[in-house]
Structure 1
């Protein structure tokens, strides 16, 4: 069974995070790309057909999967059109710009019997998979503190839609969606949260900094991001009753894909395996452990492996619409916390 797939928009997301995987995966045919004015995709994938609108795209009865990588403000409408046309849908994060839109899309997908998933590729970052292994196996004892950072140094605001004053723009919807999804995957929903969200850069139109505290019964999860961090700190820091773990550096897959590497190339695999290892110091299974710990191997191809199985077997994907809805709902609670300068106790999610 081969799945015919199309990408809606060929910007950074479509070019870097989706086309390379649909091109190399043996179970997918990348057949069409929606580009309103340009013809960039055929320079690398000369076999694809370019169409100029999603309306034109959805007339293709042979199309199985629509991958939406257009600006965030279009996610809801384009996904709704694709689902109503009987297509499976993958949406680049963030899912939607409101939790109400997210809920409606989830219900529509269920009604139509179609797969709806959000591209949370960073669940397959090697360092996150390593953190997940450490937490699951209680290698640090009982966890008491968790920190996740995703910082960059971009002191000047870029001239792109992500940094315009539009719904769903800003670093919280962008990088924050990844950190929130990873944390929910690890620990579930917190009982309360405290958030500071603001703009640090002069003349910034959107938020470019957040400091989020997710409060759990046994520990606090701190999520931070800023666009003005010249000297990067650790990506992850975990402390438990038996030990600690610290990891520097961002998973290399985005950089590799942006440079033109395909995910099935030897260079891609080698770079993943050579990603900077974290440092651990702990007592585990009666042994004192101190030193580097090898990353669990992660590859974003695994996301599309799962989407294939979900479509083939008509089962829920690993990244579900309900999980993605919770991420957007949490973002709304974080905005409320920051605006009102208080801790929000979470209740009423359905």
Structure 2
């Protein structure tokens, strides 16, 4: 099996939880380098990786083919550009960049260099996201007329991380963080909208970055899609509510990969590794061909973030499609930028 050498630009939560465990267990990847500015925590689990104390040093000296830019969003543009200029393929964490102009410049540079640039939209591999896609493809609920996608949490205290909490830093707050997931999911399900209206602010107070948003997406076929997130949601809502002209589907957010990884779970290669659900997590209510109501409790199948890196590997080795390419995710950044503008100006923003 061809071995692809990888370098991680950071070893914080993202590196420890979402990237390194999968790269270690995938037989086609080798973690060759890890950036840790002042510590050497990675040595215990990844002793074969060379530790560098700066991204610049790693890109200059490490034997790697792919750089994973998993640093704070405010540095994504700088480090992704640096990696591309050094001749490395790039996987960049979501959100892609802080704004559209940065994303467009990176995509152009990658194309000029003949390198790939992929955004780590891992929630495309959540069990709940995949279940909704399955229901939409099955078309039992008919043509979709209205949808609501939510990503709520109960985190009423500030995290203390300046790149996430400082309202003066572009890219901080929930709109770029959780919004990057919801916007991506909406575009994957329904395509690019015609216009939007948004409300974005901080429930914790103006001294903190936004922690609440509601975005209403308008589509040319009269479809309405609402994206919503709050950190003051103690009781869970259905994360996906889809209404069609023949029925409805309600899906809970039940993917638990993040929590299991934080607790020390080891992701398996080539098979499911998460703890199975015991109870149904969705409700499908629709009119069948005889126009009789059927109500089914559904159970989603396991998701697996390993599939993202499997697709990266297959792109490198076999030339298969690249997962979430930067050129595609530029669309997400356009929506995020427009949502911020809409909230600031209090008006509908045209997108097409």
Give me the TM-score of the superposition, normalised by structure 2. Answer: 0.94
Alignment of 1:61-140 (within 5 A): 62-140=63-141
Residue 243 (str. 1) matches residue 232 (str. 2): no
Q: Unaligned stretches of 5+ in structure 2?
A: none
Deviation at 1:274, TM superposition (A): 4.7
Aligned to 1:187: 190
Q: Spell out, residue by residue over 1:72-108, the C-alpha distance to the aligned partner (whole angstroms, 9 max, x if none).
A: 1110111111111111100000111111110010011
Residue 269 (str. 1) matches residue 265 (str. 2): no
Aligned to 2:149: 148
Select which of 332, 338, 344 maps to 1:327.
Answer: 332
CA distance in 1, matches of 2:22, 2:288: 38
Select which of 148, 152, 166 maps to 1:164.
Answer: 166
Query: Residues 87 and 273 (structure 1 numbering): CA distance in 2 closer, same or farther, change over 3 Å?
Result: farther
Question: What is the RMSD of the two structures over their aligned residues, measured on CA atoms?
Answer: 1.9
CA distance in 2, matches of 1:67, 1:147: 32
Aligned to 1:232: 236
Contact kept in structure 2, 1:252 and 1:272, CA below 8 Å: no
The alignment covers a number of residue pairs equal to 347
Q: Unaligned stretches of 5+ in structure 1?
A: none
What SS does structure 2 have at the residue aligned with 1:144?
Answer: strand
Deviation at 1:271, TM superposition (A): 1.4
Contact kept in structure 2, 1:242 and 1:282, CA below 8 Å: yes
Contact kept in structure 1, 2:255 and 2:303, CA below 8 Å: no
Bigger shift: residues 200-209 or 91-100 = 200-209
Aligned to 1:346: 351
Contact kept in structure 1, 2:199 and 2:342, CA below 8 Å: yes
Contact kept in structure 1, 2:217 and 2:226, CA below 8 Å: yes
Give me the TM-score of the superposition, normalised by structure 1. Answer: 0.94
Q: Spell out, residue by residue over 1:288-336, the C-alpha distance to the aligned partner (whole angstroms, 9 max, x if none).
A: 5312112133211110011111122345412011121111111111111
Residue 46 (str. 1) matches residue 47 (str. 2): yes
Query: Residues 267 and 62 (structure 1 numbering): CA distance in 2 closer, same or farther, change over 3 Å?
Result: closer
Q: Spell out, residue by residue over 1:241-286, the C-alpha distance to the aligned partner (whole angstroms, 9 max, x if none).
A: 1111112234111111111111118997241555752111113455
Query: Residues 117 and 267 (structure 1 numbering): CA distance in 2 closer, same or farther, change over 3 Å?
Result: closer
Contact kept in structure 2, 1:256 and 1:268, CA below 8 Å: no
